[in-house]
Structure 1
Amino acid sequence: MMQYLVFRLYGPMASWGEAAVGGDRPSGLTPSRSAVLGLLGAALGIKRDDVSRLDALRAEVGIAVKAYSCGSLMRDYHTAQVPSQDRKRTFYSRKDELSVEKEKLNTVLSSRDYRSDGYWVVAVWLWQESEFTLDMLEAALKKPAFTPYLGRKACPLAVPVTPRLVAFELKEALDTSFPPILFSHEQDRRWLGLGNTVTYLWQGTADDLGEYEGVQSCQVWDEPISREPWQFSARQVHQLTLVEE
Structure 2
Amino acid sequence: MPEYLLFRLFGPMAAWGGVAVGEYRPSESHPSRSAIFGLVAAALGIRREDAADLKELQESYRMAVLVNTPGSLIRDYHTTQVPSEITKKRAWPFATRREEVSIHRDDLNTILSTREYFCDALYTVCIQAATENPPYLLSELAEALNSPVFTLYLGRRSCPVALPLQPQVFRGDNLRAAMEAAVFQNIGMMSSIAGKERGMLFWEGEENTGFAVESSQTVQRRDVALNRRRWQFTERKEHGALVQVPEGVR
TM over 0.5: same fold? yes
Partner of 2:38: 38
Displacement after TM superposition at 1:220 (Å): 1.2
More displaced 10-residue stretch of structure 1: 150-159 or 171-180: 171-180
Displacement after TM superposition at 1:199 (Å): 1.1
Work out whether 1:17 is the aligned partner of 2:17: yes
Q: Which runs of 5+ in 1 are unaligned?
A: none
Match of 1:147 among 143, 148, 151: 151
Aligned pairs (5 A) from 1:150-161: 150-161=154-165
More displaced 10-residue stretch of structure 1: 209-218 or 49-58: 209-218
Deviations 1:87-128 (A, max 9, x none): 673445433433444333221100000000000000111212
Partner of 2:138: 134
CA distance in 1, matches of 2:221, 2:34: 11
CA distance in 2, matches of 1:99, 1:133: 48
Q: Which runs of 5+ in 2 are unaligned?
A: none
Partner of 2:109: 106
Aligned pairs (5 A) from 1:75-90: 75-85=75-85, 86=88, 89-90=92-93
Partner of 2:171: 167
- The count of aligned residue pairs is 240
- TM-score, normalisation: structure 1: 0.89
Displacement after TM superposition at 1:243 (Å): 4.0
The answer as to whether partners of 2:212 and 2:243 remain within 8 angstroms in 1 is no
- TM-score, normalisation: structure 2: 0.87
Distance 1:91 1:206, change over 3 A: farther
The answer as to whether partners of 1:199 and 1:239 remain within 8 angstroms in 2 is yes
More displaced 10-residue stretch of structure 1: 19-28 or 194-203: 194-203
Displacement after TM superposition at 1:216 (Å): 2.0
CA distance in 2, matches of 1:100, 1:209: 59
Percent of pairs identical after alignment? 39
- State the SS of the aligned residue for 1:117: strand
Letter in 1 for 2:209: D
Letter in 2 for 1:12: P
